[in-house]
Structures are given as C-alpha cells and as structure tokens.
Amino acid sequence: MKARLIDIAAQAHVSEATVSRVLAGKPGVNSATREKVLQIARELGRYSDAALQDSRPLIGVVLPVLDNPIFPMFADAVEQEAARADADVLIGAGARSPEDEERIFDRLVRAGSRGIIVVSGLHADSAHSHDHYRAAMERGVAFSLVNGELPDLQAAFITADDEFAISLALTHLRELGHERIGLAVGDEHTWPVRRKTAAFSAQTADCSGRSPISYTDFSYAGGYQSASELLDKDCTAIICGSDVMAVGAVAAAADRGLSVPRDLSVVGYDDIPTARTHSPAITTIRQPVALMARTALRHVLASEGRTRRAPSSAFAARPELVVRASTAAPR
C-alpha cells in the first residue's frame, strides 16, 4: 500500500502541503527539507511519484516571439547548458503583454519550474506593469532576466554590454571613413534601446547633428522604415539594433537604387544565421548567447531550494564585431 501524505508528513515533521510540493517537484522548499521528505517517501515505498522517479530541476524559458531567430538561439543555448547540468527545460513563447507573461509564468510554475529565464521580456519595458514578476517571486520562483533590468526586483540580470557594442560598431565605421552614421533601434521605452541610444549619443556628441537616431521596432519592416528615414538625412552608414532590421535596411537601400556596401554600409546586431547567408553577408555585433545562457541558467539552479531570495546580481557580457560584406569605405 502506497504511503499517504499524512504518513510522510508525520515522520518528516512537516505539513502535508510541504510533502505535496516536494513530491510534485515544485519550488519553495529548502534543499534539506526536500531531501528529508524524499528519503522518508522512499523508505515508505512511495515510488510512483514523478518527483521520486526524476528529481531533475525543471527550468522555464520565456520568449517574446519565435520569428526572430535570436530567441530560438537563446532557447537552444539554455537547453544545451541544461543538459550538461542534468536539468530539464520548458519553453513558453508569445509573451507580448503582461497578461501573456503572467499566463506563461503560471503555467511554468504549475508544471514544476523552480526557476524562470526571461529573454527580452517586459522586464525591459518601462511602459508596462511588472506586478506579475513580483507575484511569481512570491510563489518561490527564481528569475534570470536577459537583456533588461528592474532595480526593484531581486533577480539576476544578464545583458550584452551595449556601450561596448556601440563602440565596436562606431569605431569600425569611422575607421572606414564614415562621418554621417545613423542608429536604427526599437521602442524607446525599452531598456536595451535606452542603453544603446545613450551610448550612441555619448560617443557621437562631437558630430554636430550628423548622427541621427530612428526609433521603430526590431523587425524587417522597422529596419526598412528606419533606413528610409536615415537615408533622407544623408547617412552613409547605419547601425541597426538587430540583424533582422539590418536585412530590412539593405532592402530599403535597394529600393532606392542604392547598393550595400557601395552606397550605404549596414551593421547589424545579434549574429543570427541569416547574417551569414544574406547577400551581402551582414557585418554585425555578435551577442555572446552561449555565455549569457550559461550565466542565466546557473543563477536559477543555484537558487533552487533557498528559503531566502538571493541578492540581485548583474552580468554584462562583451559582444564582438564580426566584419562581413555589408560595410565598406564611403564613396
């Protein structure tokens, strides 16, 4: 006869609710208590529970969309790191609103996720409420938040070093001889955009208005629109906030009868596979995806079983410049 929860709880000197959480593999129980409950459950012959058969931690990964390849790249990198750490991954995508994120958080927690990695989520957008993050943390979830920071949340914040990224792109274009360099980015309310534009403005402060900024979004259409605006301002080079934008910028130039890189140099950001296969191949700033994924995963795994929240931490990974065929000296 399978032992009852009340039998395990009595021997472990904990509540039935605690036993239930342990056997369901849910967060919110410290590691010592968890192991004690599992050991007693084994001794009493309760082997049919998933938690006893497989106590591997389950980590949730939340993505805003799947149509931009950088997000599946992050998910794949987390899964590879999780396999090395003997952990499992559950992915939720389509988090475009606070309601979407809250629904995905709830599904992941109910599935047994002990930590959640959010990539370019609404934590990066100051225009939205973040109460659903706090609510999830009250349920014992440890967060790693990629590409964005919320100072009042206790989480790990993992970002690419945007100041260094902008410096790489500007230095490369200036060494080629460009003086009128524009920046194409997404929503100005988002943390990555604010960081990129602040760095760009600081590093072009001596350019006397020759370095305009266009705000659209990180899509192909956004890149096309931004390039059109910046070409109207006589830019000879454009730094884009994503490789998808960069492809749109190349298309906008072509529709004007311009050639990249002969008439316009374009720098992307991310280094998605399309950047390598596009014609011309896109010069880009490569995000250190594997390093960022490893850091994010290690934080949530290290937080497993803690009764107190870990202090906030911030990690900025340095990207690298990958020079390809979309940049050249201006004519």
Answer whether residue 89 is part of any domain.
Answer: yes
Sheet with 88-93: strands ordered across: 88-93, 58-63, 113-119, 142-146, 156-160, 313-317
Share of the chain above pLDDT 90, in %: 67
Same domain for 168 and 283, yes or no, is yes
CB distance 167 to 203 below 8 Å: yes
Which tokens in the block code for residue 224? Answer: 């096309």
Lowest mean pLDDT, pick from 65-69, 290-294, 302-306, 327-331 = 302-306
**pLDDT band at 104; cut points 50, 70, 90:** very high
Answer whether residue 122 is part of any domain.
Answer: yes
- pLDDT of the residue at 113: 85
Answer whether residue 277 is part of any domain.
Answer: yes
CATH number reported for the structural domain that contains residue 153 in this entry: 3.40.50.2300
Go through the chain and tell me how many residues it has. Answer: 331
pLDDT at 48 over 50: no
Same domain for 175 and 282, yes or no, is yes
Single pTM value for the model: 0.83
Answer whether residue 329 is part of any domain.
Answer: no
Same domain for 95 and 25, yes or no, is no
* CB proximity list for 250: less than 8 A, separation 6 or greater: 227, 260, 266, 278, 280, 282, 326
Q: Could you give the CA distance from residue 304 to residue 92 in angstroms, rounded to a whole number?
A: 20
CB distance 282 to 67 below 8 Å: no
**pLDDT band at 51; cut points 50, 70, 90:** very low
pLDDT in tens, 314-325: 999 999 999 999
Same domain for 152 and 301, yes or no, is yes
Q: Could you give the CA distance from residue 108 to residue 26 in angstroms, rounded to a whole number?
A: 10
Q: Which helix H or strand E contains 290, and what residues bound it?
A: helix 289-302
Same domain for 172 and 265, yes or no, is yes
Answer whether residue 331 is part of any domain.
Answer: no
pLDDT in tens, 216-232: 999 999 999 999 999 99
Residue type (1 letter), 21: R
Residues of the domain holding 24: 5-53
> Among 53, 72, 87, which residue terminates a domain?
53
Count the neighbouring beta carbons within 10 Å of the beta carbon of residue 194.
17
* Average pLDDT for 146-171: 93
Q: Could you give the CA distance from residue 260 to residue 147 in angstroms, rounded to a whole number?
A: 30
- pLDDT of the residue at 28: 72
pLDDT at 182 over 60: yes
CB distance 204 to 211 below 8 Å: yes
Q: Could you give the CA distance from residue 213 to residue 12 in angstroms, rounded to a whole number?
A: 62
* Average pLDDT for 153-171: 95
Same domain for 100 and 70, yes or no, is yes
Which residue, 113, 92, 59, is CA-closest to 293? 59
Answer whether residue 330 is part of any domain.
Answer: no
Answer whether residue 272 is part of any domain.
Answer: yes
Answer whether residue 323 is part of any domain.
Answer: no
Which residue, 43, 68, 61, 31, is CA-closest to 242? 68
* Average pLDDT for 78-92: 94
Same domain for 293 and 279, yes or no, is no
CA 123 to chain centre: 10
**pLDDT band at 289; cut points 50, 70, 90:** very high
Q: What domain count does the chain have?
A: 3
pLDDT at 98 over 50: yes
